[in-house]
Amino acid sequence: MNFIIFDLECDTVYSRAHGSFINEIIEIGAVRLDAKLNRIDEYHRMVRSGISKKLSGRIKKLTGITDDEIRSEGITFAEMIDEFEEWVHKTHDNVFISWSDSDIHMMVSNLGYFTDLRTIPFIDKYADLQRYTMKKLGITGSQISLTDACERLALNEEDAAHHRALDDSEMCVDIMKKCYSKREFSSFILDTKKDCFYERLFFKPYVIKSMKNPFIDKKDFNFRCPKCHRRARPAEKYRFTGHAFKARFECPKCKNVFVGNVRVKKNFDSLSIYRYTSEVGEKGSAEKNETLEKKTQKV
Ligand SMILES: [Zn+2]
């Protein structure tokens, strides 16, 4: 087994053909490691835009890449894919690794735009190093940046040019070397030919806004009185406002009046349900509330 740790830089350009903005790859960097994490070789290329003649000001500032650099060193996206594929196939049984799956997402989108491919033909196995590192560091919730991860792991990356494809790949290599455990990492390796890999990649989780949605289970909409814990009855119909369904409740015993809040988020193959109560007139917040219940169930 070998690891191919890669990173992409992109520019956001307006495509007249599609009538929308797309993230176009302008640079790729990759480092190959063997199963013992020894460095074998690396790959780097600048990619010339097929859509825009000049880089955006924002990307020049962020990456330091210049139009001249792209003009003199850049090849087309299709040429880069052919060349990269050839480089990849110098070894077999490669596990691709990137920091969050957004670069895989971007490569598939660019393939879809410039070729007739809808999947990446040379990536059979993939692992998201961001997910793995967050698990290792015991971080839940919002995603951490590559720089943030290096700081937490006490990796000195001061010399690295951030937001350059090869340097970012090198940072991932250092994180990999610091955090890698064969047994733990193996459960993060996905087979791109199975488990609806691409469907999952492109699925956007959404909050359900209609009570008629088939994923809504009425049982999740009952509440107990936060004061006396009796079963309370809704005094009105649920309505969706802000981020959640809300309804006023009245306790049959202590006459306490409160608001029941339910937020249902549809993920690829599960539902995340957040339930909490708030006082009437108060802006209910899932984070602040003591009676918060969170659950995720497979669907
Ligand atoms: Zn009560």
**In the chain, domain spans:** 2-202, 206-298
Place of tokens 């929308």: 20
Ligand 1 centroid – CA 226 distance (Å): 7
Which protein residues have a CB closer than 5 Å to ligand 1 (ion)?
225, 227-228, 230, 251, 253-254, 256
Ligand 1 centroid – CA 264 distance (Å): 25
CA 88 to chain centroid, in Å, comes to 24
CA distance 26 to 110: 11
**Are 274 and 294 spatial neighbours (Cβ–Cβ below 8 Å)?**
yes
Ligand 1 centroid – CA 282 distance (Å): 18
Instruction: Tell me 221's DSSP state.
Output: G
Ligand 1 centroid – CA 284 distance (Å): 19
* Residue 161 pLDDT: 67
CA distance 250 to 225: 8
* Residue 17 pLDDT: 85
Ligand 1 centroid – CA 291 distance (Å): 14
Ligand 1 centroid – CA 250 distance (Å): 8
What tokens appear for 223 in the block?
A: 């509440």
* Residue 139 pLDDT: 92
Ligand 1 centroid – CA 260 distance (Å): 13
CA distance 8 to 24: 10
Q: How far is CA 91 from CA 8, 18, 95, 125, 221, in A?
A: 21, 37, 11, 13, 54
Question: pLDDT digit of tens for each residue in the chain (299 aa)?
Answer: 999 999 999 999 998 888 989 999 999 999 999 999 999 999 999 999 999 889 998 889 888 899 999 999 999 999 999 999 999 999 999 999 999 999 999 999 999 999 989 899 999 999 999 999 999 999 988 899 998 999 999 887 776 667 889 999 999 999 999 999 999 999 999 999 987 899 999 999 999 999 999 999 999 999 999 999 999 988 999 999 988 999 999 999 999 999 999 999 999 989 999 999 988 876 655 555 656 788 888 88
Ligand 1 centroid – CA 249 distance (Å): 10
Ligand 1 centroid – CA 242 distance (Å): 26
Domain 2-202 has CATH 3.30.420.10: yes
